[in-house]
Amino acid sequence: MKQVILKQGREKSVKRLHPWIFSGAIQKVTGSPGLGETVEVLTAGGLFMGRGAWSPESQMSVRMWSFTDTEIGPDFFRRKIEEAIALRKPPVIGADTTGIRLIYSESDGLPGFTADRYGDYLVCQISTAGADYWKDTLVAILREVVPCKGVFERSDLSVRKKEGLGESVGLLWGEEPPEVIEINEEGRKYGLSIQTGHKTGFYLDQRDNRSLVGSCSRERDVLDCFSYTGGFAVAALTGGARHVTLLDSSGPALARADLNIRLNGLSEDKYTLVEVDVFHALRKFRTDNRLFDLIILDPPKFVESRHQVDKGARAYKDINMIAMQLLKPGGFLFTFSCSGHMEDLLFQKIVADAAIDAGREMKILRWLSQAPDHPVITSFPEGKYLKGLMAMAT
């Protein structure tokens, strides 16, 4: 068996069941494993620690499949996939919800393998050498466990370069998905594109937060910043919002948002679409003394790496400060960061500092996170990336 021998004292994270082993923790490798092949992991003293996938071109040289003496193969992957699917059944996810994350990488014991269901189609994203090595097996088991019309791959991820892999997009099995797939989310309808949408087609992680926004929107004037294809806007309008203004720099995204709002039978006079730089628009609203009852800030990642935390923090502070100045007394702010490098307490501090600079007193009502089909196992806290706050202006 091909083996990875750890340096003396570098087995602590493995003992805590953390799935990543960095190159600096490795003393030597025996047996010349190939890209993505399974290796045994041993301590410097020869104690067996488990089995993982070998990725020689990445700083994360091994991603653990198992911390026991379990053979890594079809039976192992079937068990992991079946366990993940069982977790997503009601009441965790509503029976009428047809857009679901089925497999969430490390959090479901399958590092680098993510799978979503959109209606009758499955979408896979593969980001690691190990998952890519077992791709055919994983997809074959997944389509057996979850009956579907087709399986599409969206592994157009820059991180694959660090794994020694190229991008891969296309049909893996079955029927080519239609250009637009309609899903139901707790009574809301959304049309999305598996082939061209962000991530795998839609931001499933915000499902619960969209529902919360909907429950708080009745008779309120809502500003949806970075609205993308209208996820929050649809929730606000179906929740009874008086009017929603959608801001986004992408014309095609706003066009899809328009279709999604219409898909739900909502009146044209209830919303306004604005293609604009969001920072610029917010400053213009401030100059014009334009105020709102509810504001949503769901920007793209401002922090792509730990080296960008300071720069990203300034951007988060700036946009939250201006948004607070646009809130009416008693208005709600829903603000988010989707960067895993932005820690929860730091994000809360940034929002608090923004309130001071805005001259506003804000009360935090809820701490928000990703939907339960994006679970976080205790041994892998990195699985929690989405954080948010619901705050009220006094």
Is omega for the bond preceding 91 within 30 degrees of 0, making it cis?
yes
Query: Looking at residue 128, what is its pLDDT?
Result: 98
Which two tokens mark 314?
Answer: 């300034």
- Note whether 243 and 272 are within 8 A (CB): yes
Percent of the chain with pLDDT over 70: 100
Look at residue 307 and tell me whether its pLDDT is greater than 90: no
Judge residue 243's burial from the number of C-beta atoms within 10 Å of its C-beta, 0-12 exposed, 13-18 middle, 19 or more buried. Answer: middle
Distance between CA 265 and CA 273 in Å, rounded? 17
User: Which pair of structure tokens corresponds to residue 384?
Assistant: 């929690």
Helices assigned H by DSSP within 146-230: 207-215
User: In angstroms, rounded to a whole number, what is the distance separating the alpha carbons of residues 197 and 189?
Assistant: 16
Residue 1: pLDDT over 80: no
Report whether pLDDT(384) > 90. yes
Q: What is the pLDDT of residue 306?
A: 82
Contact 252, 230 (CB under 8 A): no
**CA torsion angle for 306, 310, 312, 317 (degrees, to 10)?**
140
Q: Are the beta carbons of 308 and 284 closer than 8 angstroms?
A: no
Residues 229 and 205: beta-carbon distance below 8 Å: no
Residue 214 confidence (pLDDT): 98
pLDDT of residue 48: 98
Residue ranges of domains in the chain, CATH in brackets? 3-66 (2.30.130.10), 74-181 (3.30.750.80), 203-393 (3.40.50.150)
pLDDT of residue 349: 97
Helix axes 309-325, 344-358, angle to 10 degrees: 40
pLDDT recorded at residue 150: 98
Q: Residue 9's pLDDT is what?
A: 95
How confident is the model over 256-277, as a mean pLDDT? 97
- Residues 222 and 295 sit within 8 Å (Cβ to Cβ): yes
**Per-residue pLDDT tens for 143-198?**
999 999 999 999 999 999 999 999 999 999 999 999 999 999 999 999 999 999 88
Q: How far apart are the first and last CA of the chain?
A: 64
Rounded-to-integer distance, Cα 3 and Cα 11, Å = 14
Mean pLDDT of 53-80: 97
pLDDT averaged over the chain? Answer: 96
Tokens of 196: 């061209």
Mean pLDDT of 82-89: 96
- Per-residue pLDDT tens over the stretch 288-302: 999 999 999 999 988
In one letter, which amino acid is 195?
Answer: Q
Which two tokens mark 278?
Answer: 């969001």
User: What is the C-alpha separation between 359 and 62, in angstroms, rounded?
Assistant: 49
Beta bridge partners of 80: none
Q: What phi, psi does 223 have (nearest 5°)?
A: -115, 115
What's this model's pTM, rounded to 2 decimal places? 0.95
User: 3-state class of 165 per DSSP?
Assistant: coil
Could you tell me what percent of the chain has a pLDDT over 90? 94
Residue 59 is given by DSSP the state S
So what's the pLDDT on residue 304? 81
pLDDT of residue 380: 97
CB atoms within 10 A of CB 137: 14
Give me the catalytic one of 124, 216, 225, 338: 338
Determine the Cα–Cα distance for residues 130 and 132; give it in Å rounded to an integer.
Answer: 5
Q: Is 216 a catalytic residue?
A: no
- Helices 74-87 and 135-145: crossing angle in degrees, nearest 10, is 50
